[in-house]
Amino acid sequence: METKGLVIVHTGEGKGKTTAALGMAVRAWGNGMRVLILQFIKGSWKYGELAAIKALSSVRPCIEIRQGGLGFSQRGAGAEDEHRSAVHALLQTAMDELCENTWDMIILDEFNYAYSFGFISLDDLEMLISKRLERTHLIFTGRNAPQELIDRADLVTEMRLVKHPFQKGIKAQKGIEF
Amino acid sequence: METKGLVIVHTGEGKGKTTAALGMAVRAWGNGMRVLILQFIKGSWKYGELAAIKALSSVRPCIEIRQGGLGFSQRGAGAEDEHRSAVHALLQTAMDELCENTWDMIILDEFNYAYSFGFISLDDLEMLISKRLERTHLIFTGRNAPQELIDRADLVTEMRLVKHPFQKGIKAQKGIEF
């Protein structure tokens, strides 16, 4: 069995992009793999996910999460520069980690969001994909995955919204929405 | 914040249906919720997932998985009856567990598959949904979610295949496909 790291994309307007990435992280951890999660938007992984990852990590410390971006809601004067530099710092972390044989899977959560705002260039994207070790899986999540990423990916899934509880007037529920 | 158990469906031809359910299970566990996973097809949750759930359970024993169905590949004389009775035994477990205040989330993995084979009736489906405590989330996974289920659901996501590695001739990869 050859090991070939895949470039995987979860995109679309529906739910489950980050949730399926969390599922992949957990499954990979269970398979003895080493998983790094990089958050391009602060707060996209909340208490429940963080507590579960901490618990897994206490059993075998091969899963780690690092926040790098700002929150979705940070706007106003200077916010764009702050967003850009937060994204670039995390991108640098990704590049550094990719070159080492430290991780079998790296999840770039909400990468697509940061890319669609112009904070990440096509050169950066190509470098991420080409610099990684052959065996490292890269998972990109977020709406509006750029065509350049889809072209370079091995596995692309679109999460399509068929029906949402807000449409029925039901409020956000703990453990589901957050 | 009212607690209203949602009926959630992951369907479609793409990947991520069971993986996102695993992610939801893990997030819910991290939020202090109690999660039961019922497998309508044996073997749909493999070593990696099982190891991770076991690890979480060793930290706080509020997550459990029970196999009830047969494997996808079991065919031949008598196989249909065996499938049907395996599904019915698991359905009975689901009904029993639903009435107790033991679980905050119950995942019925590959339920849609068992339903589409005619092993589960609409009456069974309606009973599952109506018998549960108001606060219990029910998650149904599998291709070909029946319209009767979609009609009764609060949140439905279709995982759509945009691109698959097999199309590029890449073999199944540990931690991704299994």
Q: Residue B15: its chain A contacts at CB < 8 A?
A: 20, 155, 157
pLDDT band at B75, cuts 50/70/90?
Answer: low
Q: Which among A27, A58, A153 has CB closest to B19?
A: A27
CB A41 within 8 A of CB A113: yes
Q: Which among B10, B30, B160 has CB closest to A50?
A: B30
Structure confidence by residue, pLDDT tens digits, B27-36: 999 999 999 9
Residue A1 confidence (pLDDT) above 60: no
Token digits for A5?
């790291």
Structure confidence by residue, pLDDT tens digits, A85-103: 899 999 999 999 998 889 9
Contact between B6 and A173 using a beta-carbon 8 Å cutoff: yes
Residue B111 confidence (pLDDT) above 80: yes
User: In angstroms, what separates the C-alpha of B37 from chain A's closest C-alpha?
Assistant: 14
φ and ψ at A135, to 5 degrees?
A: -90, -5
Q: Which among B22, B52, B159 has CB closest to A157?
A: B159
pLDDT band at B76, cuts 50/70/90?
Answer: low
CB A161 within 8 A of CB B17: no
Arithmetic mean of pLDDT over chain A: 90
Q: In a 10 Å sphere around its CB, with 0-12 CB exposed, 13-18 middle and 19+ buried, how is residue A42 labelled?
A: middle
Q: Which among B4, B10, B55 has CB closest to A16?
A: B10
Q: Residue A27: its chain B contacts at CB < 8 A?
A: 19, 22, 46, 48-49, 52, 175
**Could you give the strand order of the β-sheet that contains A7-11, starting from the edge strand earlier in sequence?**
A63-67, A35-39, A105-109, A137-141, A7-11, A155-163, B155-163, B7-11, B137-141, B105-109, B35-39, B63-67
Q: Residue B1: its chain A contacts at CB < 8 A?
A: 171, 174
pLDDT band at B174, cuts 50/70/90?
Answer: confident
Structure confidence by residue, pLDDT tens digits, B23-66: 999 999 999 999 999 999 877 788 999 999 999 999 999 999 99
CATH code that applies to domain A17-160: 3.40.50.300
Arithmetic mean of pLDDT over chain B: 90
Complex ipTM value: 0.91
Q: Give CA angle at A139 (A135, A140), nearest 5°.
A: 145
Per domain, the residue ranges of chain A are 17-160
Contact between B161 and A157 using a beta-carbon 8 Å cutoff: yes
Q: Residue B169: its chain A contacts at CB < 8 A?
A: none
Q: Are strands A137-141 and A155-163 parallel, antiparallel or unpaired?
A: unpaired
Superfamily of domain B7-160: P-loop containing nucleotide triphosphate hydrolases (3.40.50.300)
Q: Residue A14: its chain B contacts at CB < 8 A?
A: 157-158
